[in-house]
Amino acid sequence: MLMLLHLLPAGEFAEVLAQLGCPFRVADLPHLIDYYLARTSHGSTLSALVHAWVLARAHRHQAEHYLDQVLSADTADIQGGTTAEGIHLGAMAGSVDLVRRCFAGIEVHDDALLVEPRWPAELGTLELRQRYQGHSLAVSIRHDQLTISSRPGRQHPIVVRHRGADHLLAPADTLRLTL
């Protein structure tokens, strides 16, 4: 169940269950997460990755704990000796996806760049580059502010969607939003 929540947004998760004859209310998500979290053994570095994703939707402070586990899987050898056998590449790749899509909240939906950051204040500022529809974007996220700047060019403006509102961003423009 938690892996499905990792792969699908909450609304799609509820739709799939309804199609299977198991109605589910998104409001019940925290209870479902708590139920399965109590029954998980965490025998894999991928477990921390999935739990960080899922908990970011319901229990933010716990999500940060699992994010820390994912990021330190190899450097702290959290599996107790498996690092000598090789790196946990799936967890590493997943951690990049986790930071970008879950905590930075950057996804593409309906011809818009959807940005819904849930960035923890304790982590300071996140700065990253994003390519989207020919634009080279510089993204800066703090817990209270989002800034997206597009480099000069001849591309058409893009739509940046935040909290359901669409904002046009043209080349050489900067968009600043309060979070």
| Structural domain spans, the chain | 1-103, 105-179
pLDDT of residue 151: 97
Sequence-ordered list of residues with C-beta below 8 angstroms from that of 104, at least 6 positions apart, any chain: 115, 117, 119, 126, 128, 139, 141
The CATH class, in words, for 105-179 is mainly beta
- 164 token code pair: 């359901």
| Per-residue DSSP letter, 92 | H
Adjacent-strand bridge partners of 129 = 138
Provide the residue type at 62 as one letter: Q
- 106 token code pair: 């950057």
**Rounded CA separation 68/64 (Å):** 6
pLDDT of residue 72: 77
How confident is the prediction along the chain (179 residues), in pLDDT tens digits per residue? 888 888 887 888 899 999 999 988 888 888 888 898 888 877 777 888 888 888 876 677 788 888 888 877 766 666 565 555 666 677 788 888 888 888 899 999 889 999 999 888 888 999 999 999 999 999 999 999 999 999 999 999 999 999 999 999 999 999 999 99
Please give the model's pTM, rounded to 2 decimal places.
Answer: 0.76
Q: At what angle do helices 60-71 and 45-55 cross, to 10 degrees?
A: 150
Q: Could you tell me if 64 and 108 are in contact, meaning their C-beta atoms sit under 8 angstroms apart?
A: no
User: Phi and psi for 127 in degrees, rounded to 5?
Assistant: -125, 130
